[in-house]
Amino acid sequence: MPRTAPQSDTPQGWRRYRQEIRFLVVFLLVLTGTFTLLSLNSVNDHVIEPFTASIARASGVSLDLLGQDITRTGTVLRSPRFAVNIRNGCNGVEAMVIFLAAILAFPAAWAARLIGLVLGVLVIQLVNLLRVVALFLTGAYLPSWFDSSHTVVWQTVVILAAVLLWLFWANRFATPRVRAEAG
Amino acid sequence: MRRGGSARPAAASRASGGPSWPLQLTRNLLLWLPPVALVWLLVTPYYNLFLTHAAENLVRLTERPDVTRLQTHDRHHLVITRTGARVPGLPYSVRTTDVHFHLVLLGALFLAVPSVPWRQRLANLGWALLATVFFHLLDLLFWVKFVYATQLGAWSAARYGAFGQNFWGLGKHLLDLPVKLALPLALWGVAYLGELRRR
């Protein structure tokens, strides 16, 4: 007599990983879609460039406060010791988009997502301001350290900030709804 | 990649009055960053060598005849050259180390997860590293094609149309900036999403 397989509510096969697959697909779609949109010339010229110029302005003010003799032209900051052009990759947009993608991919209420986005953008831009100021000072006083600091150290720090913000957001703001749904 | 499983229930962790799970993770992450960075620094010259040779083989799968040569220039760079006729703009230098510096964040993130057995943490890290090595090779393939399609002036224009230039240019841009920076978080999310939702 054939045996019948035991019935179970636990999903089998790939369905066990449905939430993880959904997270990855939504995350990558939002990430690549947003960056493709931002790479269009019209978006870059009318949104990203003015935004980057505002970051350059804030960084210039901060460096002036630290005693640097800064002149700013668009996205270029210049002092008698060093000059830097703030470009894509240094304006914090990449960390903000990664944060946005992670928030949209994680199951949560829209209100929680909105709170996360507002707080996250503020904190990421603060960390990025710190990055630009620190990099300028590194270029001015420790020029041999500039390249490694620019690409390796501060990129990691800004992305780390976005990762930690997302973890705290997911734990503090997003999970109550998940627990309620699970219950 | 296996999903995170608890070594002890979340309720017990909360009831014990210790730091919350995200705080434990943050503390562990900050503690793991220096040793992981040190290992990455030590391994980087050898990994760059491997990536250079493996990427050359991958690029050669996409061309006939096999003319692309990738050579290590110093500990951190590779140069792209072609055998045969001289191409203006080559050799072109790429900083290989920049392709994989996110390994520091990836390693620390996967090792820092609290309340998950070591065996499972290492297994998940192994799968994540394997996926990341394939990503590095794909990124370098797009780097070489991006250089050919957009960086060699008249030579590029004669061989790549508008679609080809945009395809390789956008692909390299997406892989080398957002996807590269986001990969540790994406892979960690896949491995520990269930763990994060339970906490």
Does the beta-carbon distance from A159 to B104 stay under 8 Å? Answer: no
Question: Residue B1's pLDDT is what?
Answer: 61
Chain A CB contacts of B98 under 8 Å are 151-152
Question: Residue B10's pLDDT is what?
Answer: 45
Chain B CB contacts of A152 under 8 Å are 97-98, 101, 104
Nearest-CA distance B86 → chain A (Å): 31
Question: Residue B102's pLDDT is what?
Answer: 93
Q: Kindly state the average pLDDT of the residues A151-169.
A: 88
Does the beta-carbon distance from B174 to A17 stay under 8 Å? Answer: no
Question: Residue B21's pLDDT is what?
Answer: 81
Interface of B with A (CB under 8 A): 3, 20-22, 25-26, 29, 95, 97-98, 101-102, 104-105, 109, 170, 173-174, 177-179, 181-182, 184-186, 188-191, 193-194, 196-197, 199
CB nearest to A156's CB, from B95, B101, B186 = B101
Nearest-CA distance B139 → chain A (Å): 15
What element of type H or E holds A181?
A: helix A175-182
Asked whether residue A27 carries a pLDDT value surpassing 60, the answer given is yes
Question: Residue B133's pLDDT is what?
Answer: 97
Radius of gyration (C-alpha) of chain A in whole angstroms? 22
- Six token digits for residue A110: 């829209």
Q: pLDDT 10s per residue in chain B (199 long)?
A: 655 544 444 444 455 567 788 888 999 999 999 999 999 999 999 999 999 999 999 999 999 888 999 999 888 899 999 988 788 888 999 999 999 999 999 999 999 999 889 999 999 999 999 999 999 999 999 999 999 999 998 999 999 999 999 999 999 999 998 899 999 999 998 898 877 777 7
Contact B155, B88 (CB under 8 A): yes
Residue A5: helix, strand or coil by DSSP? coil
Question: Residue B56's pLDDT is what?
Answer: 95
Mean pLDDT of chain A: 85
Distances (CA, A) of B107 to B38, B131, B150: 11, 13, 34
Number of residues in chain B: 199
- For A3-26, write each residue's pLDDT tens digit: 545 555 667 777 777 888 899 999
- Give the count of beta carbons closer than 10 Å to the beta carbon of residue B43: 13
Asked whether residue A89 carries a pLDDT value surpassing 80, the answer given is no
What element of type H or E holds B195?
A: helix B180-198
Phi, psi of B118 (to 5 degrees): -55, -40
Question: Residue A1's pLDDT is what?
Answer: 44
- For A103-153, write each residue's pLDDT tens digit: 999 988 899 999 999 999 999 999 999 999 999 999 989 888 888 888 788
Percent of chain A with pLDDT over 70: 90
